[in-house]
Structure 1
Amino acid sequence: MNSLQQPRKWESFFWPLLTVAAFLALWHFAVVWTATKIFPSPLDVERGIVTLAHKNVLWLDIRDSLRRVAIGYGAAVVLGIPIGLILGWYPAINQVVNPAMQILRPISPIAWIPVAIIFFGIGDDSAVFLIFLSAFFPIVVACIDGVSNVPSMFRRAGRNFGLSPLQLLAKVVFPAALPRILIGLRISLGIAWLVVVAAEMIAVDSGLGYLIIDSRNSGKHYDLVVAAMLMIGVIGLILDLGFRRLEKMRSVRWGFRYES
């Protein structure tokens, strides 16, 4: 029964690799069958990646994109988690703040680009601001949801042991809400990685987003365009896998047990 429910170790590597190989083969033969002169084949993209790597362009663009995401996302985490915990802990405050937050939250971060350029100009600050906005609201909502869904019996038990409100929040409520918070952090990181590409197409002159738009404008180098797109996807996958591993850590399982 267990062998049917959980794939064997070799299968966890074999099937994803087979899927990637099938995708590359389909891509290659689609280019050959259509005889297109515009869209590149996998080999063309590979040569483009090698060229960018030898010129150190690719690594510098990856570094700049990751740096902007780290700053913007990090600021969203530092501010969003405490604010979300406070709003979840004090429903009266949340009721006052929630209408304004619900008005701002659905606005696409891309819609903020003109505002960001007005306030911060063309450069890193605009991109970081857009990344911050994209990650901030999902983190706050995840924290509010996590704290609000902690069973009341946990709070009563903590009070019976004489814990102060701050100790109760730190030692009982936050660990129990942590699984939901981590899900919000993971989702917000994916959104931030999407937004950095769009921001770099407009507000800065480096990064993977800029590489895409620059390669398209300077001679329509679609091999470099697709190469940058693939790098964005690969890095996004790596970031997501990192968070998945974090969710499985033993220090987090305490919260999952209490959720169930």
Structure 2
Amino acid sequence: MIHPTAVISGQVEIDPSAHIGPWCVLEGEIRIGPRTRLMNGVSLQGKVTIGADNHFGAHAVIGGEPHDQAYGGEATEVVIGDRNHVFEFVTIHRGTTRRHGRTVLGDDNFIMAYVHLAHDVEVGHHCRITSYTGIAGLCTIDDHAVIAGMVGMQQYVRIGAYSFVSAMSAVAQDVLPYSIAYGSEGLAHLRGANLIGLKRHGFTREDIDIARHLLERFQGTDKSLAQVIADAEADFDPAHPVVRRVLDFARAPSVHGITR
């Protein structure tokens, strides 16, 4: 169903089972998949591709021009997967040529009201981002991460899988997989393993214990990151999936370093 008050340009392709609510504005090379719902006042701009069974709350703005002074109108885009719930007043800007030219939201994510995803942000699957959080450009959020409310995240930060960032944290460095980043009284620091989150996701007791002891090696130490990684490789089984994911993340290129 397309409400008669919606304004839709000639380039837009909408699956017949999609719902476009009152006063929506769709301008650009836009593709909307089956059963996706746009509530009243949603704005889609530029090149935006949206999959199936998504829900967009009132006045969300998707595909807006990036807040990047170097952006010169290049042909960039927003790509959104399936079964996402994007609440009221969320803003997701399209990408720039600084990375791959696209901002990406994967599948089964829960993006609460007033969240901002800036240009070139890449969010994986099954993530939850809570209201009033601002994710700056070129950040990456891996699968099953949870970002609590009013978090501010610096450009180029990486958030590891199954991690938790506590409310009102200022995140200026990468957050290791399976960990908690806590920073309501200053810059975020590592506060150990995300024990509750790992239990909820069905990790075994052995896996949780490995994650807890491994992350302790990174926490509050004066050792260099290279030395921490070398020690962990010697003391833990590098082939274990939990160990491998943490160490691969820690070894990967980083603009700001690792939260410790």
Coarse TM-score class (shorter-chain normalised): under 0.3
Instruction: Considering Cα pairs closer than 8 Å and 6+ residues apart, tell me whether 1 or 2 has the greater RCO.
Output: 1
Larger Rg: 1
Question: Hey, which of these two has a bigger chunk of strand by percent?
Answer: 2
**TM-score of the aligned structures, taking structure 1 as reference length:** 0.22
**TM-score of the aligned structures, taking structure 2 as reference length:** 0.22
Question: Hey, which of these two has a bigger chunk of helix by percent?
Answer: 1
